[in-house]
């Protein structure tokens, strides 16, 4: 919707293009200026920030064919081109100016006048299918609502629109996702955006980065960033918990041991394996998982008993002696005592 300040602003001059510039020329000029005056490139420079907002406002209007047509019509009135004259016989446009109907015909698609096209109907209230509310219509030029000054004076002004949201993708490491990272992202316009990836982000998650989208007169839109996380060779993830497999020997599991386990930050923590620990038991180390806003997780080490592939004669003799002592003992094999029809119901 047109705004009162369109009478005062020259969006073509702001972008440095002629009034008959093509859409491609406008887009090219905007990208060049946006890169030059972007706040990330001019930290603390208020003049550059104002210029950046002006560029965004100009691009929003001129890149939209409908808004550009309205803007051109308003600018034409500001230069004294068309005149407002009453309708009816003898009330058409005078010499050197267009009539009231001509202005709104160019802006709202009507074809009033003697041409016999579709007419735009106006009413003083109600709206709906009966016509267009004159108060709403003049609001297009900054006209007053209830309590306003009316005409083209101050009063109601439409709310500036935010810039469009943008979408992007990035791939980060497992550690970056767990600990958080500041990244420099390259947009399709060639612009570099620095942003902070929060700790605890998950693979496939979409993060909304406020104010990192396309600039606009009402502020920049958001950037919707979809994150892919590469797998880690040692660690896995369960919520905010870190997981890993802890290989132990048969002797360590049977007799007990204290084993040094790595953590994601490159350090190590000692984990105690109790005597008689079975394969598959999970040992928990408190507070050594992912530190995210939702809380800090733990490190979960899952015991995996490693069976030796080769035995020395002495080791074989020891295992055979152990096996002889355990003859007849089948711990954990309670299924051997189950009736046959329970194990094989269709046999």
pLDDT at res. 339: 59
So what CATH class is 236-325? mainly beta
What is the fold of 166-229?
HSP40/DNAj peptide-binding domain (2.60.260)
Residue with tokens 């920030």: 49
Count of Cβ atoms closer than 10 Å to residue 203 Cβ: 14
Q: What is the mean pLDDT of residues 163-171?
A: 87
Q: What is the mean pLDDT of residues 306-333?
A: 79
Label residue 106 by pLDDT band (50, 70, 90): very low
Q: What is the mean pLDDT of residues 200-205?
A: 91
Are 73 and 107 a contacting pair, CB within 8 Å? yes
4-139 and 166-229, same CATH topology: no
pLDDT at res. 257: 94
Q: What is the mean pLDDT of residues 257-267?
A: 92
- How far are the Cα atoms of 65, 68, 103, 105, 312 from residue 218, in angstroms, in the given order? 20, 18, 28, 29, 78
**Where do the domains of the chain lie?**
4-139, 166-229, 236-325
Label residue 340 by pLDDT band (50, 70, 90): low
pLDDT at res. 141: 45
The strand ranges marked E within the chain are: 122-123, 132-133, 166-172, 181-186, 192-197, 206-209, 223-229, 236-238, 241-249, 257-262, 268-273, 282-285, 291-292, 295-296, 299-306
For 112-156, the pLDDT digits (tens) are: 444 444 333 333 344 443 444 444 444 444 444 444 444 444 455
Are 142 and 5 a contacting pair, CB within 8 Å? yes
Q: What is the mean pLDDT of residues 170-195?
A: 83
Of 1, 4, 9, whose CA–CA distance to 156 is shortest?
4
The β-bridge relationship of strands 282-285 and 291-292 is unpaired
Q: Which DSSP symbol is given to 142? A: T
CATH superfamily membership of 4-139: DnaJ domain (1.10.287.110)
């Amino acid at each position: 919707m047109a705004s009162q300040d369109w009478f005062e602003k020259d969006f073509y001059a702001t972008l440095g293009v002629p009034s008959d510039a093509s859409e491609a020329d406008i887009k090219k000029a905007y990208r060049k200026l946006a890169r030059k005056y972007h706040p990330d490139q001019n930290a603390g420079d208020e003049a550059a920030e104002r210029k950046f907002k002006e560029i965004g406002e100009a691009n929003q209007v001129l890149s939209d064919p409908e808004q550009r047509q309205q803007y051109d019509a308003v600018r034409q009135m500001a230069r004294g081109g068309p005149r407002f004259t009453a309708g009816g016989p003898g009330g058409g446009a005078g010499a050197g100016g267009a009539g009231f109907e001509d202005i709104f015909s160019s802006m709202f698609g009507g074809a009033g006048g003697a041409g016999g096209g579709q007419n735009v109907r106006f009413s003083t209230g109600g709206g709906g299918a009966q016509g267009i509310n004159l108060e709403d219509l003049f609001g297009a030029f900054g006209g007053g609502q209830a309590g306003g000054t009316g005409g083209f004076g101050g009063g109601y002004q439409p709310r500036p629109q935010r810039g469009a949201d943008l979408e992007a993708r990035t791939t980060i490491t497992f550690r970056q996702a767990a600990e958080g990272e500041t990244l420099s992202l390259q947009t399709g316009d060639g612009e570099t955006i620095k942003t902070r990836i929060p700790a605890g982000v998950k693979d496939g998650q979409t993060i909304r980065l406020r104010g990192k989208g396309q600039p606009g007169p009402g502020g920049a839109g958001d950037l919707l960033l979809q994150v892919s996380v590469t797998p880690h060779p040692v660690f896995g993830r369960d919520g905010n918990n870190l997981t890993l497999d802890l290989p132990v020997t048969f002797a360590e599991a049977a007799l007990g041991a204290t084993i040094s386990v790595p953590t994601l930050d490159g350090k190590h923590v000692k984990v105690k394996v109790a005597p008689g620990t079975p394969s598959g038991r999970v040992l928990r180390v408190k507070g050594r998982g992912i530190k995210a806003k939702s809380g800090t997780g733990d490190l979960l080490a899952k015991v995996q008993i490693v069976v030796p592939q080769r035995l020395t004669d002495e080791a074989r003799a020891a295992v055979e002696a152990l096996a002889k002592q355990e003859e007849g003992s089948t711990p954990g094999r309670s299924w051997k005592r189950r009736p046959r029809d329970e194990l094989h119901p269709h046999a």
